[in-house]
Amino acid sequence: MVAVACGGDDSSSSNSSPTETAAPTDSGAPATDAPAEETPVTGGTLRVGLEADVDGLNPTASALAVAGLTMASAVFDPLFTFDVDGNAVPYLAESIEPSADFMVWTMKLRAGVVFHDGTPLTTDAVIKQFEITRNDPLVGLAVKPYYPETDAVVKIDDLTMEFHPKEANQYFPTALTAQLGYIASPTWLDALVADPTLEQQPVGTGPFQFDSRTEDSVTKFVRNDNWWGTDIIGPTYLDAIEFYPVTDPDTRTEMIQNDELDILHTTDTNQFQTYRDDPTLVTSIDDNGEEYFLMINTAKAPFDDIRVRKALALATDRQGYYDLFNSGEGRMADQMFTPDSPYFNADVTQEGNDPEGAAALVAEYCGENPVDDAGVAQCTDGKVNMEYQWSGPSVLATRIADFYNENWKASFNVTFDEKSQADNIQEAALGIYNVVGWRQFGAENPGDDRVWLECRNIGGISLNWPRFCDEARDALIMEIANPASPDERVGSIQKLVQNLHDSYAYVFMTHSSWAIVSTDKVHGNCDRKSPEGNALVCSINGRMFFQSTWLSS
């Protein structure tokens, strides 16, 4: 599982903060592609436009967001990965077997795999990485609660090990498909202790290896000719990949249209029509991953009272938000699944657009003259005092804040806080906020979203950002991890959706749309295969993969 999530708005330019979820989605194949008979050509440098740069590519410590995960996917291989049917299939790992009660998982690595620096891949490397990750104060938060203190991973031999998760989880391998499953060279991890600047020069097992980097300018990887997968999976065609962080979505669009980029990703829905109208570009849009919502801190007054949370939802003009800020793209969200998903619960809709209802609830709440623990009154002049914050500076985020103000001012006295991205994330993590816009969920295995939802994930830094603890919810999550049958699992997930709704800790707004756009010279993005021949997903929540990509001239 991967740590920390994104704060920020949907349809926006880079507002996004550290990392994303382990959120594979089945991205449809691009609308048109080169005819399958065209033979791949070896050679060329792929220029990739990313929405942000990264500080470092250390799977054990770096908070990796979409951009970071895209880069990481080139130099690291995950132990497991998702196929187009949503199953976690072996990749760097050769196989995995559960015990009958799903409490012990025996994993076998492939023989003969070497890291880019020549170190062999062994059980010791995986265990070392696991322990370092677990002890990291940030990334470790996604790992620690799920394993016992000792013997979490036990070595059997140089290629075999046993995982001992705390609870039964029939879908355990899905946790090893993202950051936790990207295995880095132990030699490199040791060197990092002495020289942290090496974080920018990752050493993994991947089809590409680090070549050079100029921060905020370009990071270059070149083909790894000793890649273990060449014989088992297939050749890597690109000579090199150059990653360009381009934070402004307009600029990214211009660059690909001026042939300065070959492929890019974006969540800025304003750009989508431009891409579609351009016949030289191949565009693939997917909104089955994350959702954008208003996130409410349930541990702090006034939003510790469910009436106030509900009032906020009722006061929000969700339709208006969608009309103004989504440019007609994507879909409004009532819950964390789209109607395409088998887990979609048709009985759950997100309330909104009901100012009178909001006023009634606020009147009832304020009528009790509520105060918080410090004795500070929560209402002034019959309206609830609250704070809304966001990551700035961003013209779009400010417009959105102004819009929310219009919605809420009838029942709330809103204090607005534009904070630096750093401060915004910090305060969200530490629970020093009332309401913030956020992006989350969308894990291909919905059970993996548990890290944002369980009671055990509330702490100093809380991955359960709204700090909402509900034992019934935790019980449901256990059932989802270890169901009596797949059908029952679907039922449990749908109950979880209902539970999330009933907590009113989230006001769901829209499903985030990711567009992957490439020129017509780029081929093979969606031709990735696992060692066992499974077809693998094209992209996951904006994360792109390049092992099978090739360029025509």
Partner 1 sequence: MRYYVQRVALAILLLLAVSMLTFGALNILGDPLFNILGPVAGDVNNPDSIKMIALAKKEFSLDRSLPVRYFIWLSDFVRGDFGVTFSSTGQPPVSGVISERLPRTISLVFLAQMFAVLVSIPWAIIAAARAGKISDRISTINAFFLVAMPNFAIAVILKFVFSLKLGWTPITYMADDPLRSRLFQLLLPALTIGLPVAAVYQRLLRTDLITTLQQDFILLARTKGLSKTRILFVHALRPSLFSFITVVGLNTGALIGGSIVAETVFRIPGIGSTLVESIFRNDFPVVLAIVMIVASAFVVINLLVDFAYTLIDPRVRR
Partner 2 sequence: MSNTSVTAAPEDIVVPKKLGFGFWLCVIWVGLMAFIAIFASVLPLKSPTANFLNSAQGRPPYAPSWSHWFGTDKDARDVFSRSMYGARISLTVGFTAITAGFLIGGTLGVISGYYKGWIDRISSFGFIVLLSFPSLVLAILLTSLIDRNLLTVSLVLGLLSIAPVGRLARAATLQYADREFVLAARQIGATNRRIIIKEILPNVAIPMSSLALLGMAVAVVAEGGLAFLGFSVQKGITWGGLIQLGSDASKTLQNAPWIAFFPILMLFLTVLSLNFAGDRLRTFFDVKETTL
Q: Footprint of partner 1 on this chain (CB under 8 A)?
A: 4, 18, 55-56, 61-63, 135, 137-138, 140, 196-197, 199-200, 214-217, 248, 251, 254-255, 260, 392-393, 420-423, 425-427, 429-430, 459-461
Helix, strand, coil abundance in the chain, percent, nearest 5:
30, 25, 45
Backbone φ and ψ for 68, nearest 5 degrees, come out as: -65, -40
**H or E element in which residue 486 lies:** helix 486-503
Token pair recorded at residue 337: 């699944």
- Residue 270: name its binding partner from partner 1, partner 2, none (Cβ under 5 to 8 Å by kind): partner 2
Q: Residue 140, interface with partner 2 (CB under 8 A)? A: no
Rank residues 135 and 319 by Cβ distance to partner 2 and give the closer one.
319
User: Shortest gap between Cβ of 213 and partner 1 (angstroms)?
Assistant: 9
Q: Residue 410, interface with partner 2 (CB under 8 A)? A: no
DSSP 3-state assignment of 389? strand
- Name the β-bridge partners of 47: 242
For residues 175 and 23, give the distance between their C-alpha atoms in angstroms, rounded to a whole number: 10
User: Shortest gap between Cβ of 46 and partner 1 (angstroms)?
Assistant: 16
Rank residues 257 and 413 by Cβ distance to partner 1 and give the closer one.
257
DSSP letter string over 264-315?
EEE--GGGHHHHHH-TTEEEEEE-SS-EEEEEE-TTSTTTTSHHHHHHHHHH
Q: What is the DSSP letter of 141?
A: G
User: Shortest gap between Cβ of 427 and partner 1 (angstroms)?
Assistant: 8
- Residue 63: name its binding partner from partner 1, partner 2, none (Cβ under 5 to 8 Å by kind): partner 1
- Residue 225: name its binding partner from partner 1, partner 2, none (Cβ under 5 to 8 Å by kind): none
Which regions of 302-457 does DSSP assign to beta strands (E)? 379-380, 383-392, 412-420, 435-440
**143 with 149: CB under 8 angstroms?**
no
- Residue 215: name its binding partner from partner 1, partner 2, none (Cβ under 5 to 8 Å by kind): partner 1
What is the identity of the amino acid at 442? Answer: G
CB neighbour class for 342 (10 Å; exposed up to 12, middle 13-18, buried from 19): exposed
Chain positions 253 to 292 lying near partner 2, rule: CB under 8 A, are: 270
Segment interacting with partner 2, rule: CB under 8 A, options 146-154, 320-328, 421-429, 439-447:
320-328
For residues 373 and 488, give the distance between their C-alpha atoms in angstroms, rounded to a whole number: 42
**H or E element in which residue 522 lies:** strand 522-523
Rank residues 371 and 422 by Cβ distance to partner 1 and give the closer one.
422
For residues 82 and 175, give the distance between their C-alpha atoms in angstroms, rounded to a whole number: 11
- Residue 502: name its binding partner from partner 1, partner 2, none (Cβ under 5 to 8 Å by kind): none
For residues 383 and 441, give the distance between their C-alpha atoms in angstroms, rounded to a whole number: 32
Segment interacting with partner 2, rule: CB under 8 A, options 128-136, 187-195, 220-228, 317-325:
317-325
Select the residue interacting with partner 2 from 102, 147, 344, 403 (CB under 8 A).
Answer: 403
- Residue 157: name its binding partner from partner 2, partner 1, none (Cβ under 5 to 8 Å by kind): none
| Per-residue binder mask for partner 2 (CB under 8 A), 39-78, x = binder | ----------------------------------------
- Look at residues 328, 11, 22 and name the one whose alpha carbon lies nearest to residue 179: 22
User: Shortest gap between Cβ of 210 and partner 2 (angstroms)?
Assistant: 35
- Residue 403: name its binding partner from partner 2, partner 1, none (Cβ under 5 to 8 Å by kind): partner 2
| Per-residue binder mask for partner 2 (CB under 8 A), 325-364, x = binder | --xx------------------------------------
290 Cβ neighbours under 8 A, 6+ residues apart:
6, 20, 21, 23, 439, 440, 441, 442, 511, 512, 541
Select the residue interacting with partner 2 from 162, 418, 502, 520 (CB under 8 A).
Answer: 418
DSSP 3-state assignment of 199? helix
- Residue 200: name its binding partner from partner 2, partner 1, none (Cβ under 5 to 8 Å by kind): partner 1
Q: Residue 323, interface with partner 2 (CB under 8 A)? A: yes
- Residue 217: name its binding partner from partner 1, partner 2, none (Cβ under 5 to 8 Å by kind): partner 1
User: Shortest gap between Cβ of 342 and partner 1 (angstroms)?
Assistant: 34
Q: Give the angle subtended at the CA of 132 by the CAs of 163 and 123, to the nearest 5°.
A: 45
Helix/strand number for the chain, H first, E second: 13, 24
- Residue 323: name its binding partner from partner 1, partner 2, none (Cβ under 5 to 8 Å by kind): partner 2
In the complex, which residues of this chain contact partner 2 (CB under 8 A)? 250, 270, 320, 323-324, 327-328, 392-393, 395, 398-399, 402-403, 405-406, 416, 418
